[in-house]
Structure 1
Amino acid sequence: MSTSPQLPAVAPSVTAELVEALSPRLRKRLDAGVAKLAGRPVVRDGDTVRIAIDDDTDLELHAPGSVVTSADAVRCGCLLAPDCLHRAAAASAAPVAEDVQAAPAGAAEDARAQSSAGPAAAGEAAQPPSPPASEPRPDSPSPGQLGAARAVFEAAAAVLEAGTDGAGAVLQAELLRAAHTARLAGLPRAASAAVTVVTGVRAARSADPAYRLPDLVAALRTVLGVAHRLPGAAGAELVELRGTVRQPYTPDASLRLYGLFSEPVLTATGYAGAVTWTADAEGRLYTVSDVAPGGAGRAIGAADRTVRIGDTALTHRELSRAGLAVSGATVSPTGRLGAGAGVRAVRASGVDWRGEPLDRLWAVPVAEQVRRALGDGPHDLLFLDVTLTGTVREATGDCLLADCEGLALRLAAAHDDPALPHRQNLRLLAAARGSRLRVIARLAPGPLPRALLLAAEHPSQPGVRVDLGLDRLQRADLPASAVPPAAVPVPDEAPLHLLRRRVHHAVSGGRRVLAFPGGAAGDPARLRRTGFTTGAAVLDELHTTAADRTRDAFGRLLPADTPRFARAWLAAACYTGEVERDLCATAWGFRSGSDLDGS
């Protein structure tokens, strides 16, 4: 089943309502109906999108503001309407919109700009406000929130049990209904994560090149974790689990900002654009974003759009190398600049990365930068001085290998979409072995020092920098003394991958792939031999719950204990994430403070 970018976004509650209205017979045919609809012609006329079902029948989606907000806005001309399959298939094929009312100006951008900081942030970004609900007690979840959390957990557990291969439109609609219920109950974090899971499942089922299994694993871990923890939460933990519907903007007087770099944003939820990072004289980072519904073309073109701050005519590409003077500025807690009516901005001069005040970003010790990125810091960017030394092959492609203060650092492509130049630029930089460059990268937690390369100094032109997701290097840009990349042997990693791959396999193939007898008989023993005793116990429990199927008095298999399997998977996913965090801290030269096993 594929998601069509030509269709307008549909609110989760609308999709859930249309699917629920189908008869059992039509529900069995829904996935086939979605696949068939994906190949039909689509025509947009203002706020109306028409799909030609056949030569005589059209299906219309009325989408003011490019969002379908009610089931009545989906109309079909076939003889079986409104109880036909076509309406539910269209909603299931369309991108998932933010639920209920439209967002205030800039709110959607705020949410998607945060998604550029990593997969976890995408599932927990600020959301548009939901209708008023009864005010919950601050020290405990309300009955409505408990019920909503239970519904989210059960729906997400059903998706996990089926895996991406088996989680068709019906299971997706159940999770979207639970997400809508959670939003109405005042649980925007759970609702947002549930929607992220659905969009990830759709991307997996349609073989979307932008799909990344680790992102879906992270989103599923978030939604199950929030729903599981909420009943026993109180105080600050409860506030965190509930989440917030939007990021508050606070006045920040006047700002003098210096451009750092721009990066494209291209999400699995159908949003695209660009985010430009800037810094003030004290080294605090601020972002200016232009993110809206769209695909790779919008992500590339957004760099040449005018920034939405005041009356300035600067584009994102120009701002990344220039400066900005802002008065009446408003800033979110994540550093995103607001674009309110009272904000004034004019172009100012920029500075080189090696000049003040930007030079101080690279003066911070690497270990301190990584500690901040792994903690609760406002961003996960790293400012590094590296020497390119070669390449190393990984399962997802070649990584650039660099020396960073004695660490063998892997620099990977920040995005794999072929429309973006990340990977091509990485291959060209690999040929500049021996070059010493300043780079900006995003930390990629793991057992080896690894980061996603975002921007770098030009390999042959001092003072020039390259936004690796927007600018395309040419072979002529390489220094005349460029040395061909050298292949570097891959060092042995901690055997945590034995558990990680089972966590990932469950998301892709569902419970059944872990239920095969003897599927991983030696993995727990290997984990115990290397000191991961808790990891071995977690893996044993995961396989036990996957294979545990009881029978009734007549020998017939009873339904599997889906919640138990989901809890076992959640324990394995959380354990893996925490150990990887600890291993990452150790790899970069410091301890994170966690104490898992003896590792």
Structure 2
Amino acid sequence: MTTDLPSVAPAVTAELVAALSPRLRKRLDAGVAKLRARPAVREGDAVRIALDDDTDIVLEAPGGTVTSATAIRCGCLLAPDCLHRAAVASAAPIADDTAADDADDPYDADAPDGRTAREDEGTRPEQSRTEAAFDRQPTDRQPAAADRPAPSPPAPPGEADDHDAPTTGHMDAARAVFDATAAVLVAGTDGAGAVLQAELLRAAHSARLAGLPRASAAAVSVVNGVRAARTGDAGYRLADLTGALADVLGVTHRLPRATGAELAGLRGSARRPYRPDGSLRLYGLFSEPVLTATGYAGAVTWTVDTDGRLYSVADVAPGGAARAASAAGRTVRMGDTALTHGELSRAGLAVSGATVSPTGRLGAGGTVRAVRAPGAAWREEPSAGLWAEPVAEQVRRALNGTHDLLFLDVTLIGAVREAAGDCLLADCGGVPVRLTTAHDDPALPFRDNLRLLAAVPGTRLRVVARLMPAPLPRAALLAAEHPGDAAARVNLGLDRLQRADLPRPAPGPVPHPAAPAGVFEEAPLHLLRRRVQQAVSGGRRVLSLARGDRGDGARLRAAGLATAADLLDALHAAAAVRARDAFGRLLPADTDRFARAWLAAAVYTDTVESALCAHAWEKAAVPV
């Protein structure tokens, strides 16, 4: 039913839940589950849900969003203090506060989502990687606490911070978001019901009013991830929610001590600034579908200019898998061009009066003019220059926070079975690379296309993929040369290959590159990562029960990962310690200590995995 409901502003949900009595709060999660099973009927700007034969609940949503508590009306005898109003608000999608600031572009770089992927900068709609990544050094012995500063993006032009240090309002709002997020972490997805979610939404709304849009958006992404986990959403990924939690805790933890440009980066921007960029001659590269957990869908088309700089054009709006699957046929919103996204991925564009965001997103303002122009093949300039860059340099650039696209020349080897499903093994300059699907939704052809490519081992292809930080080389496959025609290309998330498109397999055995040797690929860092993710699912209680397992720490120390072992011990200790009062009764758990211990472990794991990822790609040679 939630897909039929209008979105509800975070402040509305928080207000309705806060107004419930303690007795009704205990029944809220059951009420949400019952409402999800009831059909919703749209009547103009209103949505009506029949609770029984005589009682309805109505949501007034002009523009598709419920913006006040009075817009939700219930016909039961206990209204307006009934459970139904809070339950329906908790079951509905969360409205995007940035829509009012940037209505022309809901796919906003400063509004990360539990995506998806990380949805900022046009990257990974189905994956999440914390933007609060710490300094990535290929060593185990480095500061383990979350106090270690992270590189923050510079303040956009015209958006310089008015303060050299955080104000009292900033610190109070950050503290509220940190505490509410810590409470969700301590409870885990199994225990973080509608009440805890509403508290985090209230803190997120307060953070936005205090001028902290980045913390606000990150907190909302956590709530979206928790809801997806609790409802069994097929698009839910534990790694996404883990990254979202690390992001919001990291931002709010560092903000009180930040100054200048770092503070501006931690505060974020509510509206993406666009700067004039004159005239551009662009050549289409590929298009990828966008399908987020928050109800947005569409496509992003990537282009390159004559100097080798990347630009993207997005068409993302509320919708589901059907909108994402059909996005290739939608017209590009720029100037008077009639090009669709699928056509632009293979053609060119001449733009005058262009406006560009700091992440390379092209604006579609009224002064922008664009006409169709000839494109260029991937093996012609300027596109060919993207593949000429050494692979190791591309990986370092992606890990340092720039766009995470990889332009690779590979030789297909075949399918490899993994716990999460089959992936395509390929040789990239002597390094075995696992190429996975960018999205698992069956409405998108990623999985079917990957399976067909795995059937033609020995085929050499030029591909575009998105880096997936891991101890072994791994990337999500986005586009590739047509296996039967090197002059053509395939958008693997929008175009569907046929078996007739495949060439005959090359005769003779297919060379299988040796896996890179060394301690890095054998480092048991997954032991720490497993506990970090277990805390997200099961909360503090799961780790307190697992404290007696000393084998993980011993294995980490034996592998030279003493810092990882210390962080694991500290995490278990923070989960298990419970103080007692003068009468011997257990006091509430120290959520602050547990959240900080978890954040240190999550940041360390992300940092070391990034270092191992860079090391694993170092031996990739540039094809001649």
Same fold judged by TM-score > 0.5? yes
CA distance in structure 1 between the partners assigned to 2:407 and 2:437 by the alignment: 16
CA distance in structure 2 between the partners assigned to 1:448 and 1:268 by the alignment: 27
How much does 1:518 deviate? 4.6
Q: What are the residue-to-residue correspondences of 1:196-275 with 2, within 5 Å?
A: 196-275=221-300
Does structure 2 retain, via aligned residues, the 8 Å contact 1:388–1:432? yes
How much does 1:539 deviate? 0.3
Structure 1 window deviating more from structure 2 (569-578 vs 314-323): it is 314-323
CA distance in structure 1 between the partners assigned to 2:515 and 2:198 by the alignment: 43
Q: Which deviations, in whole Å up to 9, do the C-alpha atoms of 1:377-433 show, x marking residues without a partner? A: 2x1100000001123222211111111111111111111222221122111111111
CA distance in structure 2 between the partners assigned to 1:296 and 1:102 by the alignment: 25
DSSP-derived class of the 2:106 partner: helix
Q: Match for residue 171 of structure 2?
A: 146
1:437 paired to 2:443 = no
CA distance in structure 2 between the partners assigned to 1:76 and 1:487 by the alignment: 65
Structure 1 window deviating more from structure 2 (441-450 vs 40-49): it is 40-49
Which letter maps to 1:114? D
Does structure 2 retain, via aligned residues, the 8 Å contact 1:373–1:381? yes
DSSP-derived class of the 2:300 partner: strand
Q: Match for residue 595 of structure 2?
A: 566
Q: Match for residue 508 of structure 1?
A: 537
CA distance in structure 2 between the partners assigned to 1:166 and 1:93 by the alignment: 16
Does structure 1 retain, via aligned residues, the 8 Å contact 2:129–2:243? no
**Residues 349 and 70 (structure 1 numbering): CA distance in 2 closer, same or farther, change over 3 Å?**
same
**Residues 329 and 482 (structure 1 numbering): CA distance in 2 closer, same or farther, change over 3 Å?**
same
CA distance in structure 2 between the partners assigned to 1:584 and 1:136 by the alignment: 34
Q: Which deviations, in whole Å up to 9, do the C-alpha atoms of 1:253-310 show, x marking residues without a partner? A: 1111111111111111111111111111111111111111111111112221111101
Q: Match for residue 148 of structure 2?
A: none
1:583 paired to 2:623 = no
Which letter maps to 1:286? Y
DSSP-derived class of the 1:463 partner: strand
**Residues 487 and 271 (structure 1 numbering): CA distance in 2 closer, same or farther, change over 3 Å?**
farther
**Residues 220 and 325 (structure 1 numbering): CA distance in 2 closer, same or farther, change over 3 Å?**
same
Which letter maps to 2:591? T
Q: Bigger relative contact order, structure 1 or 2, given CA contacts below 8 A and separation 6+?
A: 2
**Residues 252 and 52 (structure 1 numbering): CA distance in 2 closer, same or farther, change over 3 Å?**
same
Q: Match for residue 58 of structure 2?
A: 60
Structure 1 window deviating more from structure 2 (149-158 vs 98-107): it is 98-107
Does structure 2 retain, via aligned residues, the 8 Å contact 1:392–1:488? no
How much does 1:477 deviate? 2.0
1:459 paired to 2:483 = yes
CA distance in structure 2 between the partners assigned to 1:355 and 1:115 by the alignment: 26
How much does 1:33 deviate? 0.8
Does structure 2 retain, via aligned residues, the 8 Å contact 1:13–1:99? no
| Match 2:376 to one of 326, 338, 351 | 351
Which letter maps to 1:297? A
CA distance in structure 2 between the partners assigned to 1:519 and 1:70 by the alignment: 49
Which letter maps to 1:400? L
**Residues 279 and 101 (structure 1 numbering): CA distance in 2 closer, same or farther, change over 3 Å?**
closer
Does structure 1 retain, via aligned residues, the 8 Å contact 2:484–2:502? yes
**Residues 12 and 432 (structure 1 numbering): CA distance in 2 closer, same or farther, change over 3 Å?**
same
| Match 1:368 to one of 393, 398, 403 | 393
Q: Match for residue 153 of structure 2?
A: none
Structure 1 length-normalised TM: 0.93
DSSP-derived class of the 1:61 partner: strand
Which letter maps to 2:269? T
CA distance in structure 2 between the partners assigned to 1:439 and 1:95 by the alignment: 36
Q: Match for residue 117 of structure 1?
A: 123
Give ranges in structure 2 of 5+ residues lacking alignment. 112-118, 133-159
CA distance in structure 2 between the partners assigned to 1:71 and 1:136 by the alignment: 33
How much does 1:317 deviate? 0.9
**Residues 404 and 123 (structure 1 numbering): CA distance in 2 closer, same or farther, change over 3 Å?**
closer
Does structure 2 retain, via aligned residues, the 8 Å contact 1:115–1:121? no
The sequence identity of aligned pairs, in percent, is 71
How much does 1:490 deviate? 8.6
How much does 1:586 deviate? 0.7
Number of positions where the alignment pairs a residue of Structure 1 with one of Structure 2: 578
CA distance in structure 2 between the partners assigned to 1:184 and 1:311 by the alignment: 38
**Residues 266 and 482 (structure 1 numbering): CA distance in 2 closer, same or farther, change over 3 Å?**
farther
CA distance in structure 1 between the partners assigned to 2:206 and 2:400 by the alignment: 31
CA distance in structure 2 between the partners assigned to 1:252 and 1:280 by the alignment: 12
DSSP-derived class of the 1:176 partner: helix
Structure 2 length-normalised TM: 0.89
Q: RMSD of the alignment, in Å?
A: 2.2
Q: Match for residue 557 of structure 1?
A: 586
**Residues 101 and 252 (structure 1 numbering): CA distance in 2 closer, same or farther, change over 3 Å?**
closer
CA distance in structure 1 between the partners assigned to 2:539 and 2:548 by the alignment: 14
How much does 1:438 deviate? 0.3
